[in-house]
Amino acid sequence: MAYFINDECISCGACESECPVSCISEGDGKYVIDADECIECGACAGVCPVGAPNPAE
């Protein structure tokens, strides 16, 4: 399990520098999380203005 950034992402970049394992990067139209690196800390969800990062189902 890992966090996943949904289509609500507005590519503001706020989450990228908050991730303790640096697994967030800018993708095509939205930011993306490397699921193999994510430790599910929730920091990205805490800073996102639109609630785009959520635990994957």
Pick from 17, 25, 27, 39: which binds ligand SF4 (CB under 6 A)?
39
Q: Which long-range contacts (CB under 8 A, 24 or more apart) does 18-26 make?
A: 18/43, 18/44, 18/46, 18/47, 19/43, 19/44
Pick from 13, 17, 27, 56: which binds ligand SF4 (CB under 6 A)?
13
Per CB under 6 A, does 27 bind ligand SF4? no
Residue 4's φ and ψ, nearest 5 degrees, are: -135, 140
Q: C-beta of 11: minimal distance to ligand SF4 in Å? A: 5
Residues 31, 5 contacting (CB under 8 angstroms): yes
Residues in contact with ligand SF4 by CB under 6 A are: 3, 5, 9-15, 18-21, 23-24, 31, 33, 38-44, 47-48, 50, 52-53
